[in-house]
Amino acid sequence: MLRIRVEEQPEKTIFHIEGKLAGDWVDELRKVWTSVRNEAPAKQAVVELSSVMTVDNPGRRLLSQMHSWGTQLTGKGLMIRSLIDEITGSPTLT
């Protein structure tokens, strides 16, 4: 199961992701992210991953794609920090 909560702020949109970013849930995140980004393309997008338990290969590819399009990936926890470091190519700051 995956839960996506979108928090609109004046300068940015934060996508709070919880659960498993795997299987069909990857497409669900892609749909939500694309829809919200199309509505406000000038806003900074931030994906908050602290509550994600599992990320499969398609999930990793989606996060990499989102990052390459300017989305900031954030999160805490050993697995998530390692994943973010892998995708961004730099250590995350807490």
Domain count, the chain: 1
Q: Where in the sequence is the domain holding 66, given as residue range(s)?
A: 2-88
* Residue 17, domain member (yes or no): yes
* Residue 93, domain member (yes or no): no
pLDDT tens for each residue of 27-74: 999 999 999 999 988 999 999 999 999 999 999 999 999 999 999 999
* Chain length of the chain: 94
* Residue 94, domain member (yes or no): no
Higher-pLDDT residue of 93, 80: 80
Task: Give the Cα separation of 23 and 82 in Å (integer).
Answer: 21
pTM of the model: 0.91
